[in-house]
Structure 1
Amino acid sequence: ESKVLAKAFSEITGINITHDLIGEGDVIEKLQTQMQSNRNIYDAYINDSDLIGTHSRYDAVVPLTDFMAGEGADVTSPTLDLDDFIGLSFTTGPDGKLYQLPDQQFANLYWFRYDWFQRDDLQKQFKDKYGYDLGVPVNWSAYEDIAEFFTNDVKEIDGQKVYGHMDYGKKDPSLGWRFTDAWLSMAGAGDKGIPNGLPVDEWGIRVEGCAPAGSSVTRGGAANGPAAVYALTKYIDWLKAYAPPEAAGMTFGEAGPVPAQGQIAQQIFWYTAFTADMAKKGTPVVNDDGTPKWRMAPSPHGPYWEEGMKLGYQDVGSWTLMKSTPLERRKAAWLYAQFTTSKSVSLKKTLTGLTPIRQSDLDTQAMTDIAPNWGGLVEFYRSPARVQWSPTGTNVPDYPKLAQLWWQNVAEAVTGERTPQEAMDNLATAMDRVMERLERAG
């Protein structure tokens, strides 16, 4: 977008665009500053829909439903076709209004070395030990068996040390989204509900009506309940027992490229945003004909999970307009947002970035043709089951304030300073305190 579409938009409209690429933390910081100061910094943001609960409560973001019908009606494209977007349920507030327009989407799925799983010798060795076939694990106990098998039984493939699991554990903000990106719901924390559990969501936060009532078990929440503690315990156990020894000291960014290096058998928490890098010819995990040696599959779930719960995370980076932006600038930004998501560019953008937003793109022959090279991405997004993978929902009243509590508390359990139960107790208490302050502030 910043390299190609901004230039094209300027050539077509005469409106000059400065499209800054900054880190996710910086986006949140600028957004918060603009919300609090009411001073315009950017005319539009691409901001994760994880903030939908924040935006629908703080009255700082323009509800697009109102804008398209009112002040922005004259700059709203008749061919926008909102019904074609696959992620609108994630960017809609409890009031039924659309607050953000999806620009790119990717999911968090299970990744595995299909070629290794297909080997007769490994299949026989696995079945002899565990009594069932080596295949995509549906639950966490099977995932653990496979992790144990590759790390401690297989040990080496083609003279190279291999591992049955990959993850990261450094005390860093990225450790937070390792958990807030629905890890607890994968274990089975929270209630049933699509896109998010109600009244208790995957952060363990319970709402009454639209108002958060607490995250601790004592307040009817689930952030320190058995499923949440189990989720943290298993994360630590697997990181220490089955991942490469350096993984515990890695951040998200450092750990991301590791599976493409060819030593990892499976990864339970893997973002499809890595597909493009993972599918490059010449890497150890791609065949000479360009097809991948790996596949992605639905995420395995923990023992507390029940049918009807969400099964994983989906990221929806979305165009977000602020009330503090002057109207004429906001209108120009809305034109650009619609251009970058329009049917004339969205298919090419999807084929380049692998982050689909429109059903019409998913239905094309071009997607069918590329599907064998993408290891299951097209099949996942064409499946009706994709709705079980969703972003953070509307229960979270202030994403920036609450999200930062996670990595600080989780890290204490990773280092062993606290037990998983103590860490989740502290997290739940800290979240409840923040929510009490937010409630007092109105």
Structure 2
Amino acid sequence: MKRLWAWLLPLCLSSPSQADVAQLLQDHLQPTTLTADEQLAELRWFSQTAQPYRGLTVRVVSERIATHWYESQVLAPLFTRLTGIRVIHEITGEDDVVNKLNAQQDTGLHLYDGYISDSDLIGAHFRGGQVLALSDFMVGDGAGVTLPTLALDDFIGLPFTTGPDGKLYQLPDQQFANLYWFRHDWFTRPELQKAFRQQYGYDLGVPQNWSAYEDIAEFFTYHVKKIDGLPVYGHMDYGAHDPSLGWRLSDAWLGMAGVGDLGLPNGLPVDDWGIRVEGCHPVGASMARGGALDSPAAVYALERYVFWLKRFAPPEAIQLTFTQAGPVPSQGQIAQQIFWYTAFTADYTRPGIEVVDDDGLPLWRVAPSPHGAYWQPGMKSGYQDAGSWTFLTNTPPEQLKAAWLYAQFLVSRSVSLNKTLHGLTPIRRSDIFSQAMTERAASLGGLVEFYRSQAVHAWTPTGTNVPDYAEMASLWWKEAHPAIAGRITAGQAMRNLAQAMDAHLAGLEKTGLHCAPKLNPVTSAAQWQARPGAPKPALAHEKSQGVTLSYEEAMRAWQ
């Protein structure tokens, strides 16, 4: 530590004393998985490599989550003091980030030097020709500004940001997953365990299938009814006519149900959006074209979503958006949630809230998500967000290199572990298996265990079958909401959605994109359902016997 602050002191011009600099390093660059000498060498590399770019201002933008606030408010100023490169790190809504990224591509204007944007857009990035292929840049024009100790093989999310051409288009900056969340303290109460077994004939525990999840939701909502004098509900979700409804459904709800084919990170040839590809060309979303977006599995998925929301969630949930619904389980009246974002972990571990005990430990746990009736081993199990650095080819070269230095600083091993402990959105394997994370594990309700397990590979973002995520994502909430509102059936909603997806793919077919859609001719759905894989024919019984495991058994199975 002394060597670090002694070297950095001349660079931290605004710090009046060695004590201030030492505190700065202790607060923001410790702990790290590097030795003191390794960290010193890495920081020296940033300072020296940045010399030609001192005085430049770079402008980047990211969505509004705790990790990016920490980057913007703490790490960006630290990078400036280290390198002399001024950073304007703007924080905005997720939709706005995508809109800004699209605006720069559509207009050709230089708006930002870098974007931290979801890897869900990878299908558009590798097709459009406007997103910088980082794997080419790092050995080409960017070789001189690429950190020798970047250690790409240490990143857990690179499969999500790599195109079918094998090129890396985005570099993960933060990741979080959608997992099953439940009140471990309630599930382990002997009187509730006894009552559940008497009612359903098996043990109250972590549900392994949607049938068990539904039984547990019914049990808490209609049999338990109240705990400690307060009403309780067996499920939580949201249903407002809002773009965030689309995220809930497109972000692997159908994947959990089993709509697509086997294969990771996404099913092939049919993915969890129900889109079939042949080679790299999307050929259809409807069953009539070989897709599965209106298949029995997809209809089943939306039917369960609507039924659970209306029957087992708080009455107001159907009017809530993602932002409004997010804090509700932390208020102490929700028994379980099938689809809970681990980005909420920091908020759900704050002292004094209803789901934390007197010692500051969570009363809740996360576990593997239960699977729908059509799911099979070897399919993706849920959604994982990978907010990733994305650069456009029209960025001026000097600005691009300076922004690339900033991006690498935020994900470097000198910084990443401390950032992970603040935002709880890990990206590096070395951080996940660090002693610091081991020490923190008990207070994080299973988050560390998830990221240390093999299951982490089965929770994946939207894949490369989706050629235009920004526009196609908006179709989900617009077409699905009428079913949630009760105006049409789930089957009609999914047929409308599949037709809308096909129409959009048809429009892209004429654009001349690399790997553009080439729609299959319309044939009969039965013809496609007769083939192996997706689209799958309807099951005779979609509600099977519920299966649960104890939390300890579920965690062992996860490993």
Task: Report the TM-score when normalising by structure 1.
Answer: 1.00
Counterpart residue number, 1:178: 248
Is residue 161 of structure 1 aligned with residue 231 of structure 2? Answer: yes
Counterpart residue number, 2:51: none
CA deviations over 1:86-131 (Å, ceiling 9, x no partner) = 0000000000000000000000000000000000000000000111
CA deviations over 1:292-347 (Å, ceiling 9, x no partner) = 10000000000100010000000000000101111110111100000000001100
Matching residue within 487, 512, 530 for 1:417: 487
Is residue 11 of structure 1 aligned with residue 86 of structure 2? Answer: no
Is residue 210 of structure 1 aligned with residue 280 of structure 2? Answer: yes
Matching residue within 78, 81, 92 for 2:151: 81
SS of the equivalent of 1:434 reads: helix
- CA distance in 1: counterparts of 2:315 and 2:277, whole angstroms: 40
One-letter code of the match for 1:191? D
Is residue 150 of structure 1 aligned with residue 206 of structure 2? Answer: no
- CA distance in 2: counterparts of 1:224 and 1:325, whole angstroms: 41
Is residue 263 of structure 1 aligned with residue 311 of structure 2? Answer: no
Report the identity percentage. 66
User: 1:436: how far off?
Assistant: 0.7
Counterpart residue number, 1:57: 127
CA deviations over 1:186-216 (Å, ceiling 9, x no partner) = 0000100010000000000000100000000
- CA distance in 2: counterparts of 1:33 and 1:131, whole angstroms: 57
- CA distance in 2: counterparts of 1:418 and 1:73, whole angstroms: 56
Identify unmatched segments of 5+ residues in structure 2: 1-70, 513-559
- CA distance in 1: counterparts of 2:306 and 2:287, whole angstroms: 22
SS of the equivalent of 2:241 reads: coil
SS of the equivalent of 1:19 reads: strand
SS of the equivalent of 1:17 reads: strand
User: 1:441: how far off?
Assistant: 1.2
Counterpart residue number, 1:230: 300
How many residue pairs get aligned? The number is: 442
One-letter code of the match for 2:365? R
One-letter code of the match for 1:247? A
5 Å matches for 1:30-429?
30-429=100-499
One-letter code of the match for 1:263? Q
- CA distance in 2: counterparts of 1:182 and 1:34, whole angstroms: 29
- CA distance in 1: counterparts of 2:434 and 2:492, whole angstroms: 50
CA deviations over 1:400-442 (Å, ceiling 9, x no partner) = 1100111000101101111101110010000111111101111
Identify unmatched segments of 5+ residues in structure 1: none
- CA distance in 2: counterparts of 1:418 and 1:210, whole angstroms: 34
Matching residue within 430, 434, 441 for 2:504: 434
Q: Could you tell which deviates more after superposition, 29-38 or 236-245?
A: 29-38
CA deviations over 1:6-58 (Å, ceiling 9, x no partner) = 00110011010000001011001111111111111110000000000010000
One-letter code of the match for 1:33? A
- CA distance in 1: counterparts of 2:255 and 2:390, whole angstroms: 27
- CA distance in 2: counterparts of 1:365 and 1:70, whole angstroms: 37
CA RMSD of aligned residues (A): 0.5
SS of the equivalent of 1:111 reads: strand
One-letter code of the match for 2:289? R
- CA distance in 1: counterparts of 2:154 and 2:108, whole angstroms: 33
User: 1:170: how far off?
Assistant: 0.1
- CA distance in 2: counterparts of 1:121 and 1:408, whole angstroms: 44
SS of the equivalent of 1:2 reads: helix
- CA distance in 2: counterparts of 1:257 and 1:410, whole angstroms: 24
- CA distance in 1: counterparts of 2:297 and 2:397, whole angstroms: 47
- CA distance in 2: counterparts of 1:25 and 1:43, whole angstroms: 18
User: 1:385: how far off?
Assistant: 1.4
Matching residue within 95, 98, 101 for 1:28: 98
- CA distance in 2: counterparts of 1:316 and 1:375, whole angstroms: 21
SS of the equivalent of 1:267 reads: strand
- CA distance in 2: counterparts of 1:341 and 1:260, whole angstroms: 30
One-letter code of the match for 1:67? F
- CA distance in 2: counterparts of 1:179 and 1:25, whole angstroms: 16
- CA distance in 1: counterparts of 2:187 and 2:99, whole angstroms: 44
- CA distance in 1: counterparts of 2:511 and 2:440, whole angstroms: 51
- CA distance in 1: counterparts of 2:282 and 2:408, whole angstroms: 33
Which of structure 1's runs of 4+ aligned residues deviate more than 3 A? Answer: none
CA deviations over 1:56-86 (Å, ceiling 9, x no partner) = 0000100000000101011000010000000
One-letter code of the match for 2:494? M
